Structure 1
Amino acid sequence: MSGDKTGMVAEMPEDDGAALHLAGMALPDVVLRATDGTMVDLRDGGLAVVYAYPRTSPADGKALAGWDEIPGARGCTPQSCAFRDHFAELRELGVDRVFGLSTQTTEYQMEAVERLHLPFPLLSDHLLHFTSALRLPTFEAGGLVLMKRLTMIIEAGRIRHVFYPVFPPQQNAQAVIEWLRAGKAGLSTG
């Protein structure tokens, strides 16, 4: 159990094995809309870190009914802020691109980018094409299909490493940095 900025106690999500198939997978031919106005193909470019998160709360801070009872749901803002705060360090470690990824629309995500001062774009998979193609772990809340929190290290169009489940969310960026520093080779999950 871990407290977040709201003072709520978050329960650690269970490792349900829903991401075991991802390490080593080639990325699908799916282009995602980014909050900076570009269309992003994650197969392009060098080393990328993509953290998938369920959703950011609206500016008024109202969470979905029952949100606090869903293990691993709370913590999207602290996770995004941690990647923001460690962005320069990730770049120094050879990461070419950092993205947040959710099933929210780009328009919804743009508010979070501005409010949180993110130096990287968020990607929208609101049509669930990318999520479905990779069989990313999801859950439903408030009538919405949302991604379970995970982070992928992508290189040369393949998923090199997967962090799943991610808990606590605010320590995810540091875990990625430690993994990159360790120079882990090969494909693994963890």
Structure 2
Amino acid sequence: MPEHPQVPATPLTSTAGGTVDLSAERGTSVVFLYPRTSPPGGPSAAWQALPGARGCTAESCGFRDLAHDFTQLGARIFGVSTQDPQYQLEASTRLHLSYPLLSDTNRALAGPLRLETFDFEGAELYRRATLIIKDGTLVHRFEEIPDPAAHPQDVLSWLQR
């Protein structure tokens, strides 16, 4: 894979309505991929026991809380999971997210960008990662994310450097 691959032209359903094609976005996009947000009643015991799975909601809210700072740097935030658009819309509303969540139910980004996935209860989910995309080109990726709640600040600090 090239060091800075082009993002594939793939329209993803957005909680803001319509679709977003990350390859066509101009400027800087911060795209955080996460396995899934918890349902309104909270995560299952099986999910809680899965190493690295917890923290999607905290990470999503962290990006929400820093959205103004990202905007000041000219960066747009997108969250991407394999969850269906209706579930994402419910989560976006419940968590008061100020940026769109994008649904990649077919994992169209996984192969071209070599994104890791895993199976949980019969569903193939993205492993947590964050991509920095400039004008349709992947310029940086975060793959080791030990603290999802603190990760949005780490990404912001990277952009500010």
TM-score by length of 1: 0.80
Distance 2:104 2:140 in 1: 21
Q: Match of 2:41?
A: 60
Q: Match of 1:151?
A: 130
1:114-170 Cα deviation digits (max 9, x unpaired): 011000110000122222332310000111100000000000111111011212001
1:43-89 Cα deviation digits (max 9, x unpaired): 122110000000011112142x5222322100000000000000000
Q: Match of 1:132?
A: 111
Higher gyration radius (CA): 1
Q: When the two structures are aligned, how many residues end up with a matched partner?
A: 160
Q: Match of 1:37?
A: 17
Q: Match of 1:103?
A: 82
Q: Match of 2:31?
A: 50
Q: Match of 1:24?
A: 4
Deviation at 1:173, TM superposition (A): 0.8
Q: Match of 1:174?
A: 153
Distance 1:157 1:85 in 2: 25
Distance 1:23 1:91 in 2: 26
Distance 1:61 1:175 in 2: 26
Distance 1:122 1:140, change over 3 A: same
Distance 1:23 1:175 in 2: 22
What secondary structure sits across from 2:79 in the alignment? strand
Q: Match of 1:10?
A: none
User: Identity, % of aligned pairs?
Assistant: 44
Give the unaligned 5+ runs of structure 2.
none
Give the unaligned 5+ runs of structure 1.
1-20, 183-190
Q: Match of 1:120?
A: 99
What secondary structure sits across from 1:162 in the alignment? strand
* Aligned residue identity for 1:50: V
* Aligned residue identity for 1:34: S
* Aligned residue identity for 1:131: A
